[in-house]
Structure 1
Amino acid sequence: MTPAPPPTPDDPEAWNAYLAEGNAKQARKRVAADVLLRDAQGRVLLVNPTYKPDWDLPGGMAEANEPPEEAACRELAEELGLTVTVLRLLVVDWVAPHGPWDDQIAFIFDGGTLANDTVNQLSLHDGELAEAEFVTPEVAHGRLSDRMRPRFAAAVHAASDGCPRYLRNGTPGA
């Protein structure tokens, strides 16, 4: 017996049910969205999360159906009280499954340089962060996890030369 052909857009109800079935079978990706923020001295903002051992760039995980740049801005508002407009994409990194986690797509956006008055008023707004500090890129390199370090370096280079980077698990991709 030959299976029935898939529905067509001519029958919108059947077509949408067919597409929904296919959508339900597609992989779901976790999405992380961070922001590279600098001060007038060229230092970068790092945060020290309470829920993991290493320092990180400010940002966090996207919620369901939330665009990555909006997730990054939402996280900065929630955690630091910062209203930031992302300027451009710096890095996209496909992160392989590790530990209990499935794979993920990690973005880093350019948040530009914060004004001195904004830097001076920076404060923690929830319990997810223990500290926030502007540090030199060299100090940042030493504080970041092995997984985050190459992503950060790629973001710094992309901010400098204007060319976004694609990484595969921290390694330059195609």
Structure 2
Amino acid sequence: MSPTAPDPGDTEAWNAYLAEGNAKQARKRVAADVLLRDPAGRVLLVNPTYKPDWDLPGGMAEANEPPEETVGRELLEELGLKITVCGLLVVDWVAPHGPWDDQIAFVFDGGTLPQDQADQLHPRDEELAEVAFVEPEEARARLGERIQRRFTAAMAALAAERPLYLHDGVPAH
């Protein structure tokens, strides 16, 4: 049985009641990646040292971190790159799989880097083995299946100029 809600005018009791409810709510893992391009239209991929396939730049959000700030933090840590996010391309609800609970994954539009900046990108920490700008078809070949579906949707969202909502990389209707 749920405890009886206190009078909202009793601030301390009300906040304690809300905190108890908050502690029982499900928590979601959040990932945030970015689609960055060079002037030739190639996309930036990163080759992580901790998993087998290439990936989009980005990573996992820290506690209470907005997804667009996750992208900024990860790009700065891993590539020494500061960008301004241009908009949202994809929100993907990822079902539980393997040892993982479900997660919410975002892909943001990072725009196009000037060629001189693109040419200077290289890994800045031990999480990345290499980086490469590749044609979109080559990107699909390098990405794992789950990220490949999300990347394909992000490219479609970019072309349509509207974000897409996915369930495991498939547009939800």
Distance 1:4 1:151, change over 3 A: closer
Q: Deviations over 1:68-118 (max 9, x none)?
A: 000011000000000011000000000001111110000000000000111
TM-score normalised to structure 2 length: 0.97
Cα distance between partner residues in 2 of 1:47 and 1:67: 22
1:161 Cα offset (Å): 1.4
Cα distance between partner residues in 2 of 1:123 and 1:171: 32
**Contiguous gaps of at least 5 residues in structure 2:** none
Q: Hey, what does 1:50 align to over in structure 2?
A: 49
Please say if 1:105 is aligned against 2:104.
Answer: yes
1:148 aligns to what SS in structure 2?
Answer: helix
| Residues 115-130 of structure 1 aligned to structure 2 (within 5 Å) | 115-130=114-129
Please say if 1:41 is aligned against 2:13.
Answer: no
TM-score normalised to structure 1 length: 0.97
1:11 Cα offset (Å): 0.5
Distance 1:111 1:7, change over 3 A: same
- Shift >4 Å, 4+ stretches: none
Amino acid at match of 1:89: L
Amino acid at match of 2:84: T
* RMSD value, Cα: 1.2
Cα distance between partner residues in 2 of 1:83 and 1:130: 20
Q: Hey, what does 2:131 align to over in structure 1?
A: 132
2:125 aligns to what SS in structure 1?
Answer: coil
Q: Hey, what does 1:147 align to over in structure 2?
A: 146
| Residues 7-46 of structure 1 aligned to structure 2 (within 5 Å) | 7-46=6-45
Cα distance between partner residues in 1 of 2:152 and 2:121: 24
1:170 Cα offset (Å): 1.1
Q: Hey, what does 2:90 align to over in structure 1?
A: 91
1:8 Cα offset (Å): 2.5
Cα distance between partner residues in 1 of 2:40 and 2:47: 21
Distance 1:46 1:14, change over 3 A: same
Distance 1:4 1:42, change over 3 A: closer
Cα distance between partner residues in 1 of 2:41 and 2:51: 26
Cα distance between partner residues in 2 of 1:122 and 1:13: 51
Cα distance between partner residues in 2 of 1:59 and 1:102: 19
1:4 Cα offset (Å): 6.4
1:120 Cα offset (Å): 1.5
1:5 Cα offset (Å): 2.9
Q: Hey, what does 2:170 align to over in structure 1?
A: 171
Q: Hey, what does 2:61 align to over in structure 1?
A: 62
